[in-house]
Structure 1
Amino acid sequence: MDTEELPAGITALGPDTVARVRALVAAAEQRQAEEADAALDTALGIVPRPLRGVVRKVLLG
């Protein structure tokens, strides 16, 4: 996330707040990616094991 992407109200609060917001956004993005991976693994549980790699590749590109 670049400074240009942050709302002016956030950047006006100072560098400490900007750093905190960036850290919170990064943590949220990481958590979201982990949860998406877990959901995909759960969904692939119904696919026969030999086909899971192929199905994963088709779904993720």
Structure 2
Amino acid sequence: MTETTMPPWQAARLAVLLDALSGVPLSEAERASLTWLAGFERCTVENVAAVITRAQRIP
């Protein structure tokens, strides 16, 4: 499934995850996993994105 063929709500959740990973190169398999994860509830996606963001701040 691509961003153009997924439901708008899932594309929005995928964008949240991709924003948290801004600048991190992703393989096709990793992007596919993020697309799968974006199918979960909004609060779950936001929590995962928050953890990613915090982890990037650790020196």
Give the TM-score, by structure 2 length: 0.43
Which of the two has higher C-alpha Rg? 1
Higher fraction of helix: 1
